[in-house]
Structure formats: C-alpha cells, structure tokens
Structure 1
Amino acid sequence: MTPALNVGVLIYASADIMDFSGPVEVYSTRPPPGTPQVFNVTTFAHTNPVGAEDGVLVYVPGASFSEVEQRLDSYDIIVVPGAHPDVLAEFIASEDGQKTLALVQKFAKLPPRKETGHRILQSVCSGSIILGAAGVLAGRTATTHHICYDMLKEYADKAAGGDSGINIVKKRWVDGGETEAGVRIVNAGGVSSGIDASLWVTELICGEKHYKYVEEILEFERRGEGQAW
C-alpha cells in the first residue's frame, strides 16, 4: 500500500488566509470510510506563533521552518501562499524570505520519493512570485493573482539575470510541468483558486473517484484550468 503523502504548508506573517487554508482544507479532508488517509498535512513557519493577514488570525504552526528544512526530502508536496504585493516584496527581501527561496530551490531539485512517486511544488495566488524569485519558473507557463502579473515577470526575470522566458497566463490554475528532478510545478491564480488547484492535485494522485468525494464533502465545484477570474 502506498504511504500517505506528506504535505508542508508554509505560513508567514500577513500571508493571505485562504491561500493556505484552502489547500489545507482539501488535503486534510478525511477520505471515504474504510479508505486510508492519503495526505498528512503540516503547517510550518519561521516564527511561532505567526499572524496571518495583518494579525487578523494568529496561528501556532505544526512545525518550525528549520524542522521542515532539515527533513525536506520527506515532504511530497510544499504549498507556498501569497500575500499583498507590498507584504510579499518585504518578505522576499528579508532573511526569512531568502531562506524560503533557498528551500524552494532545494525542493525543486529533489526527485520524488520512491514510496509515493510524486513531488509537487504548489503556489497559490501571489505565492508564485516567491517561486519566480527562486528561479524555478524560468521557461515555464505560470499564473498568479491577476493584479500581480507584472510583478511575477519582474521577479522571475531578476532571478534569471535577464529574460526568464516565463509565460504568464490568465488561468485559474496551471500545471507548469516537471523540473529535471521530476518535481511538478503547479500555480493557482488568486486566493480561492488554491482550492481548485488542490482538488486537481488530489485527482492527479488519487483518481477521479476520490477527488469527486472530496469535492462533494467540501460542497465546492472545482473550476477548470482555463476558467480564470
């Protein structure tokens, strides 16, 4: 029997709440009775506690950033949320932001675990700018929140030291393909799009029957890749 996939969901100060809570809801939904759990979800952060969305809610993450960093090869999915563009720019320039970029770069080079066969780097909303700043979106098709297209291009080009070749599209979510190591890059558009992308990942890993079950439990009708805001 295939073991459960380990999902690490990053939280940082003033990150958008639905960006990370949407995927957490999808991946932590209990499977049908008699079916083993497919995902083990862990939130992690640089600080404990961490205040999301300007401190509207304060969270106690399940693990520290350093703990996940040290055991990164045991994680099959890493989810990177977004934030207001000003917050994101400040975060990326910070010491914690630079450590996050390094973690993203390292994860993108890890081959899938033999036990699970999957390794996925998933961003939500403007979280793709973190991936772009880490240099992992060069030459790929990607998306982000509709107000952040120019910012994503700017950070991806800066990481590449010139034209990154990134193809930014207006889509609900994008399967950007795999890295040389076999890590699949998935970007969700704005905010609630993270639920759609996570349901698509669930179908990719578990099949249509399981994904449809989760969709029904959530009472959420997944929108297709091309159904942008």
Structure 2
Amino acid sequence: MSAVQDGSSEPIQVLYALHEGFDTLDFAGPFEAMWHAKHDIKDASTRAFEITTCSPKGSVTSTQGMLMKTDLDIATATDDLKEYDVLVIPGGGTDAILKDNSQPQSLIKAFAALQQSDSTKERTLLSICTGSLLLAQAGVLQGLSATTHPDHYTKLEILCKDAARNGELAQTDVMEERYVVNNARFELGENIDENPFILSKRPDGRRKSIARKGSNAWKESNKRRESNARRASLRLGGLRVITAGGIMAGVDATLYLIAAMVSTESAEEVARLLQFQWQKGVTVDGIDV
C-alpha cells in the first residue's frame, strides 16, 4: 500500500514512461526534483518518491542521443500499473507516436481507466512539454484544461478537437500557462491572496483556491473519505492531470506536485537545492478538503 492510500511517509510510487526520441531534460529535470524531495527535509531516509522507468523495449535513446536502459518494458509496467501513484509523460519525439498511435498511448489510457474504476486512490498524470500532445490524442484531456510548449499550442488545440469528435464531444481549454492542474486536492487557507506558492484561478479568471500548507497530504481519515466521494464525481474519477509547458516549466509543475503530495516545505527545499526560481502555473478545479 502506498503513502497516498494509508497516510504514511512511505515513498510515493512514480512511473516514467519514456519513448524513442524523448527530451532528456523533460525527463531529468522532474526526476531530479522528485529525487531530492523528502517527507522530512531534515531526514535523508524519508525520501518522498520511488521512481521506476519504463519504455516499449526496455531501452530508449533521447533526442539528444542519450541511451537509457529502463527498469521495465511497458508491457510489464502495464501489468503492475495499480502499484503506481504518478505517471509521468515527457515530451520530445512525439510525432512518430502520434502518427502510429503507439506506446505510451495505451499505457496512458489504462492509467486513466484505473482511476475511473477506483477513485479511492489518489493518482496523478503529469506531462512535460509536448507530452501533453500524447495525452490529447489518448482522449484524457476532454473536458479539462491543459497547456504545452508555446510552439505547440495550435497543435494541442487540433488534437483536442479531434479527440472530442471521436469521444464525448467535450472540449479542452488550452491555456497559455507554465502549467495547468486539474482535479487538485488542497486545503483552503485563511487568505488565498497571500498564498506564496500557487497562482490559482479558473478558466474564467476568477480565483478558485490555494495549495495545501500541511506537512502531510493525507491527514485525517474522515476528510479523506469525504474527498474520495467528491473525487469520484469529477472527470476521470478525479485523476489529477497536470500538463506543463517547456522543460523548466516541467520542474515548476513537479514542485507543485511535491507541495501537493508531500509538503510545501519539501518543495521549497528542493527549489533551494536546485537553485531554481519556482514560477507558478494555475489550478482550474479541485476538491476543497
């Protein structure tokens, strides 16, 4: 059982799905940020994330020529998909995947289907840069908001419209933001205008709510049960879907994820270690818990 389910400080299980021609930093930037995250920033043994990599054939080469042997092939990862709390889809080299509708498309669909069949678990789907184009073709962005690298906004809109015609006819709001979070989970603060971490707003521009400030994302079982019920009523069973823009925006989005799933203190410490200036995106919907 993961930390997401039982409220413990066990590592959150993360699966990176790599494809031929992935962008090296789309993978390495978020990977590095997660690697540094701790449940207790003063205790190196409390690492917050346990990361597994997979690819269609067990090894893959990035756009920049880095050959990487992954932990699993995608077939094995699919068999074990219930074990993972977070699925990360980097960008780069997406044209061939879109043309052939090849992996990781079925993996993305399977992960989203898991959340719809079991909304009691808190799952997150995170894409970096043009990885959101793959999410669009897979149909998981229908009825949500999303972003991508600025050079690909139009392509994302076209893919989302195609997916809508072939699916539920639900449109996607493509936003020009660093990152966009759907189905967030957070606590309301006393003054949302003073939130130092997340610029939260709805697509219509009205502020919605803020990031949680607790040290543990899964305290108080009664609240968790209530949020499970509300999560089930959201699209995709409340699957948290985060799309990020270019490479560094992917690190921004990862810091958001650390703040949401571990603590804002941990996210701040990671940003300090990386000497990274955290820039904020938006949350467009969520469960206030």
The one of 44, 51, 58 aligned to 2:54: 44
1:64 maps to 73
The aligned residue for residue 278 of structure 2 is: 222
Distance 2:62 2:237 in 1: 32
* Equivalent position of 1:131 in the other structure: 135
Q: Deviations over 1:124-182 (max 9, x none)?
A: 00100000001011121110000111111111222222664111111000002263322
1:66-101 deviation per Cα after TM superposition (whole angstroms, max 9, x unaligned): 111111111100000111xxx32212233xx43422
Runs of 4+ with >4 A deviation: none
Judged with a 3 Å threshold, the aligned counterparts in structure 2 of structure 1 residues 221 and 21 are, in CA distance, closer, same or farther, namely same
Partners of 2:19 and 2:104 within 8 A in 1: no
* 1:5 and 2:12 matched: yes
Q: 1:90 aligns with which of 96, 99, 120?
A: 96
Percent of pairs identical after alignment? 25
Asked if structure 1 preserves the Cα contact closer than 8 Å seen for 2:157 and 2:172, the reply is yes
Q: Structure 2 CA distance, aligned partners of 1:188 and 1:167?
A: 14
Counterpart AA for 2:98: I
- Which protein shows a greater Rg? 2
Q: Which amino acid aligns with 2:152?
A: C
Q: What is the aligned partner in structure 2 of residue 160 from structure 1?
A: 164
Task: Quote the RMSD (CA, aligned, Å).
Answer: 1.9
Q: Distance in 1 between matches of 2:60 and 2:267?
A: 31
Structure 2 unmatched ranges of 5 or more: 1-7, 184-233, 283-289
Number of residue equivalences: 218
Q: Once the 2 structures are TM-superposed, how far is the Cα of residue 225 of structure 1 from its aligned partner?
A: 0.9
Decide whether the 8 Å contact of 1:179 with 1:185 is kept in 2: no
Please identify, of 194-203 and 164-173, the stretch whose mean Cα deviation from structure 2 is larger. 164-173
Any idea what SS the aligned residue of 2:52 has?
A: strand
Offset, 1:113: 8.1
Which SS does the other structure have where 1:180 is aligned? Answer: helix
Q: Give unpaired runs (5+ residues) of structure 1.
A: none
Of 28, 44, 62 in structure 1, the residue corresponding to residue 35 of structure 2 is: 28
